[in-house]
Amino acid sequence: MNYNIPENLKGLTEAEVEASRKKYGYNRLEAVKKETWADMLIDILKEPMLILLICVSLIYVIIGDYGEALFMLVAIIGVTAISFYQDNRSKKALEELEKLNEPLSTVIRNSKIIKVPTFEIAVGDLCITEEGNLINADGTIVHSNDFSVNQSSLTGESFSVFKDSKSEDNKVYSGTITVSGLAVFEVEQIGKETKVGKIGQSILGIKEEISPLQLQIRNFVKGMAIIGVIIFLAVCIFSYIKTEDFVTSLLSGLTLAMSVLPEEIPVAFTTFMALGAWKLMREGIIIKRSSIVETLGSVTVICTDKTGTITENSMQLKHLYDYKSDTIYEQENFKTKELDELIDYAMW
């Protein structure tokens, strides 16, 4: 394909590519250790409330109350299944950052236009991007022809931005899309050093904090466990002194401890948190941890940036005003022949 590239743009030589690669590496986001389903399941089951429920169900089995044990087991399985599904969806959403590269990119090397795997793009390469292409590295425009780019993946704004080598903003960024024209840019950042790479690293580096409710629940579980152990030991010792039967004393201690502890409270806590996360998920919201539901419920102020970031990146006609008749039409009226024709003219 003839790109009409100026002859002075010769690109890197093979030796320069190798030298650049040794210094800056490959055009890849830093590899992240993949969590297996077993790792995710263990993380979920490490929650204090679920550990308490598992212990309670085992104690019910020991004392022979299989009905209560089954009830606890169903609650544990239900909550774990919802949490596991949520965690898996969240993990897949984060992995989408790694797919913001096309398999092949067009570059100029040794005065020739060639296609190379995107991960082989080197700092200093001259990359060619044209209409419809995804830009795969950050760089500075050195040549362009009617070039515009959509940067909504970074800025949230859906409109196109025209750029050239002489404009104030002559930079292009990985993850953005060429809307029109053609541009040749010199690569300056690749992989995790690009803007989109840094966004990915910042997301992966987020430290999970304990929510206020989680902290209260952990203290509650700890308190319940201490009370249960004290009652269990007291009853066991007292019963053994009277009966000198260790098995009977053990069962008596377990039975009384279970009758005192309100095990339905942990079931209610975990179930309602999981159901809240499930409801938000049905609205298209990814909830990584069910405890976030409680945190969101306590929010009084939300700080967000301008339009485009939290919208669907598209516009929709809601009302139509006819100045001749001084009438405002709603969406349900748009299907009439007259208004449909008027909308077509307005679009042009």
pLDDT one digit per residue (tens) for the chain, 348 residues: 667 788 888 899 999 999 999 999 888 876 555 567 677 777 767 776 677 777 777 877 877 778 877 877 887 787 777 677 766 766 666 566 555 544 788 999 998 999 998 889 999 999 999 988 889 999 999 999 989 999 887 877 778 899 988 888 899 999 899 999 999 999 999 988 898 888 777 666 666 666 676 677 778 777 877 887 888 888 888 888 888 787 777 777 776 766 666 656 666 666 676 677 667 767 766 565 656 666 676 778 877 765 555 555 566 788 888 778 888 888 887 778 777 777 777 765
Query: Of 166, 184, 203, which one is at a domain's C-terminal end?
Result: 203
CA-based torsion, 287, 46, 36, 100: positive or negative:
positive
Q: Decide if 143 is inside a domain.
A: yes
- Provide the pLDDT for residue 301: 83
Q: Which domain holds residue 141?
A: 14-23+101-203
- Provide the pLDDT for residue 72: 75
Where does the chain have alpha helices with state H? Answer: 14-24, 37-45, 48-62, 66-95, 152-155, 195-204, 212-243, 246-260, 264-282, 292-297, 337-347
Q: 222 and 247: one domain?
A: yes
Q: Decide if 118 is inside a domain.
A: yes
Query: Of 152, 177, 203, which one is at a domain's C-terminal end?
Result: 203
- Provide the pLDDT for residue 199: 78
Q: How many domains does the chain have?
A: 2
Q: 189 and 222: one domain?
A: no
Q: 108 and 160: one domain?
A: yes
